Amino acid sequence: MILSFPLLDPEVAISNQPATTLLDLLMKGGVIMIPIVLLSLISIYIFIERLVYIRKLSSIDRGLIPSVVNELKNGKPGNAIIHARNNQASVGRILESGLEKIGKPADEVERNLETTTNLEITKMEQYTGYLGIIAGIAPMLGFIGTISGVIKIFYNISLADNISIGIISGGLYQKMICSGAGLIVGVLAYTAYHYLQMRIDRYTIKLQESLIQFLKAF
């Protein structure tokens, strides 16, 4: 008895293969995927760098303010400045700027504290604006990639004078990768931007509470 097996169509075999890898999908998105991938890498770098920087400078030692206040009450402003200078966080530099104005009117001390505080907050917010820009640009790049793909599909149909669902759906799904990738990068950059801003806002509130306690010593 002779058994015969039907030959498998190569096209069917290819279609039945497991899903392609993420890298293959990204490559199918076309040239427009290059700037989208670059924007994603830039946003990840900015987020990590700013997060480490903010964590380092936004720490407030609970014993710093009482130590500075006690030195001021004991008539030792020099020791108070040393306590503030030894603190590596931004609150140390802010307190130092106020302690340097000891003996001057209270308004001048407050202005100096406010100026230094604004400078420290500005340093924390540095480069975070790029995340907001990426959040707006990445989805638009993805949309441009999809539109260019659709134009190319219909141009090829006009040349071939043949409307095929396979041609349309095959080319369209590849170009929709651009829109999906752009939206993902945009959402991540948007989330990272507001997360960093939220941490800075929380630190600003804690800093104001500490400075009010410091100013009472005057």
Measured distance CA(206)–CA(217) in Å, rounded: 18
49 domain residue, yes or no: yes
Pair 81, 62 in one domain: yes
pTM, whole model, 2 decimals?
0.78
Other Cβ atoms within 10 Å of 19 Cβ, number: 7
Domain span holding position 64: 58-125
Amino acid at 132: G
Per-residue 3-state assignment (H helix, E strand, C coil) for the chain = CCCCCCCCCHHHHHHCCCCCCHHHHHHHCCCCHHHHHHHHHHHHHHHHHHHHHHHHHCCCCCCHHHHHHHHHHCCCHHHHHHHHHHCCCHHHHHHHHHHCCCCCCHHHHHHHHHHHHHHHHHHHHCCHHHHHHHHHHHHHHHHHHHHHHHHHHHHHHHHHCCCCHHHHHHHHHHHHHHHHHHHHHHHHHHHHHHHHHHHHHHHHHHHHHHHHHHHCCC
Residue 1 maps to a domain: no
Long-range contacts of 60-64 (CB under 8 A, 24+ apart): 60/89, 60/91, 60/203, 60/206, 60/207, 60/210, 61/87, 61/89, 61/91, 64/91, 64/92, 64/95, 64/210
- Is residue 199 within 8 A of residue 54, CB to CB? The reply is yes
Is the domain of 68 the same as that of 39?
A: no
Give the count of domains, the chain.
Answer: 2
In a domain, 3, yes or no: no
> Which of 74, 101, 125 is the endpoint of a domain?
125
| CA distances in angstroms from 8 to 4, 11, 14, 129, 208, listed in the order given | 12, 9, 10, 56, 74
pLDDT, residue 171, reads: 64
Domain end call among 76, 110, 125: 125
Could you tell me if 68 and 49 lie in one domain?
Answer: no
Q: 139 and 80, same structural domain?
A: no
Q: How confident is the prediction along the chain (218 residues), in pLDDT tens digits per residue?
A: 444 434 444 443 334 444 457 666 666 667 888 899 999 999 999 999 999 999 999 888 888 888 888 888 888 888 888 888 888 889 999 998 888 888 788 888 888 999 999 999 999 999 999 999 999 999 999 988 888 877 777 777 777 666 666 666 666 766 788 888 999 999 999 999 999 999 999 999 999 988 888 887 76
In a shared domain, residues 153 and 92: no
Does residue 97 sit in the same domain as residue 199? no
Q: At which of 125, 146, 166 does a domain end?
A: 125
Asked if the structure places residue 5 within a domain, the reply is no
Tell me: do 182 and 156 sit in the same domain.
Answer: yes
